[in-house]
Structure 1
């Protein structure tokens, strides 16, 4: 989707919302150097354009007992299976697997890269053998377990703005 150009005020709003999703309209207006009504219209426009896709709470996975992060490279996804669109069938099936928190279609040797959160080693085995390998078209997989999370940004990079410029 092509978006209309974002100006400095839009970028200030987006930058602030990434770290302060519960910010009031008044707070956003101050950050963007706009009146509250102008700011409200801009936020609604950014939502309507799906530039702002939603608002979420960041939850510590360990608080939910999800101690282990794994990455799974999926190779040799068979696209010659019967049906109208095997790639779409794979995509639809993987979306129903609750342990999968991210999935990307890639170029190169790996067909898909999956990120999953699981509570323990037994759950990893169950996930790989009984859930992932049963997804239509999966040929082979290679799994990596995260030993340490070094950087996991929940925000997109935005330009830093001088509060004095407008």
Structure 2
């Protein structure tokens, strides 16, 4: 499913919810995978309660860089905290570092996985895709990570 515009955040879980209801009713055994960043998850993350309540076949993968676009590294966050006033000194695009989003899924009865290494990612994805509960895989990535250059023109141009 495609939100249709660049920069649309927060619609992924809503799309996943609808797709999961379809799969539950018409494609038993199929799982829906929803991939989003931590900022997008912040817009509609509480829909995991709905997913868990109805035990929908959804695996949510959150790429967590502690921010909107780019977060801030842990050492810089430590300096901001020591400054005494997070509200005034934290960059407006930063989110709390190392937020444990997978714990939210666990609180609603689903499975949660926290990953920092490629091995943890591989093992967590395998377990999340094989389990019979809603799952969330929280993958920590560098706050300074940049996106890869697109290989295909159609991924970076709008037809509007």
TM-score (norm 1): 0.23
The answer to which structure has the higher helix fraction is 2
> Which is higher, the Rg of structure 1 or of structure 2?
1
Q: Which has the higher contact order (CA 8 A, sep 6+)?
A: 1
So what's the TM-score if we normalise by structure 2? 0.24
